[in-house]
Structure 1
Amino acid sequence: MAETLLRVENLTKTFGGLAAVKDLSFEVKKGLITALIGPNGSGKTTTFNMISGHLKPSSGAIYFEKIRIDKLPPFKIARLGIARTFQNLEIFGHLSVIENVLLAIQNRRPVKFWEIVTRAPSFFKKEKEAQNIAFSYLKPLGLENWALSPAQSLPFGLQRYLEIARALALEPKMLLLDEAASGLDASEKELLLKIISNLKKQGVTILLVEHDMNMVMEIADEVIVLDQGQKIAQGTPREIQRHPDVIAVYLGEG
């Protein structure tokens, strides 16, 4: 049985009198693809924001590799091995494509201040190594020919891929993908499926929020369904498709 990588316990997040997430518990197994689905407003992105440290839970706890992370800032959570993309693109548009990825690499492989000031040989060696690593993330996503272009000049689909490349440059153990297929055409979604499948083969655990049910049912090992901030079902894609509560939420009681 796969080892638990992430554990969410009785997680609740309230905004004023509204509970966006209520008493939510689930586990994400190492090396698997887990999908978090549900209607708009069901608490999916709020859950992502709490896992990545961008929101603090009102109550409950989150453990990553048995380390409690719900009180940590985002940069410390990222250094533990959790990277994410965002539903609304979060790239540095005025920087080049490769500079976006280099920022993430430098977070994991920092250059010492004295190396920069003295322009030491080690600085140029690390700079060259970082560029080579950046290209290794850009190439599988078809971004190598855009490396020197401003990120904002990329077509929308490639901007999505750039955000994934930057997240991967953090060398994560777990990748959170928030609506990664949103705005992509059929061919772009097909490439995204291949990317996610390859990441799984490389041992990256993936938790994704996604509205494209065809994609979810094709790629996910396990599916967690939320409605009004609460978990109503969890299981394999086949089990979820037949679950009466899920059918009621998506298709109506009739």
Structure 2
Amino acid sequence: MIINNIADQVASPEAIRAAKLSARYENWAAADILRDAIEHEFIGSIALSSSFGADSAVMLHLVSQINSDLPVIFLDTDRHFFQTLQYRDQLAKILGLTNLINLKADKAEEQDFDPKGNLWKLAPDACCALRKVRPLNRITDDYTAWITGRKRHQAATRANMPIVEWDGRNFKVNPLANWTADDIADYIETHALPAHPLVEQGYPSIGCFTCTKPVEVGEDARAGRWAGQDKTECGIHKPIFGGDGI
């Protein structure tokens, strides 16, 4: 069971609740976790964030079977591969998702912080903060919890990820934490879900075209993200609100 010692590391009621939920959900099926989170634990105050990337069809399909009107948040950085935008529209249509929210950076902030459009090269963390972190922070003020598609197998940095986290402001629910690459592939095949067109070109994890490259055989699925840099995450999943991020 992947769960931190509550008594040693956390004190807030929210962090304790996250740890208890994580322990409770650890051996549940993803669909059952989602249904309980959406229809019971966080009813009316939960959204799904989706990159519409390589594995996204699985989570989007699972959610569509429970509530096709659940808010689905897409961080539109204006740096996505055109294939990702096409895939987003294709999935939303075939899955009947009726509440897709496309978020972009604040125009005034974009002009102030990236007037030449080259921030991704000069300061990638600042670019992610501008185009992903701050827009998501603003909208998640409206929700108690949000669902992610992160999985433990994707990278060493995610190996100990709990099913439910508290980041100091929001609960994050990770129903696919225990899923393997084979689980994802089997689900996609079983339900005849379309694959992201870049997967067959060697992109098992797909972000902005400026910062993503194909992955070599044997590398982590996320090795192509910010390759050659110390950076491994865009920042939206860091415990940045004073919470313990258990």
Normalised to the residue count of structure 2, the TM-score between the two structures is: 0.29
TM-score (norm 1): 0.29
Give 1 or 2: higher strand fraction: 1
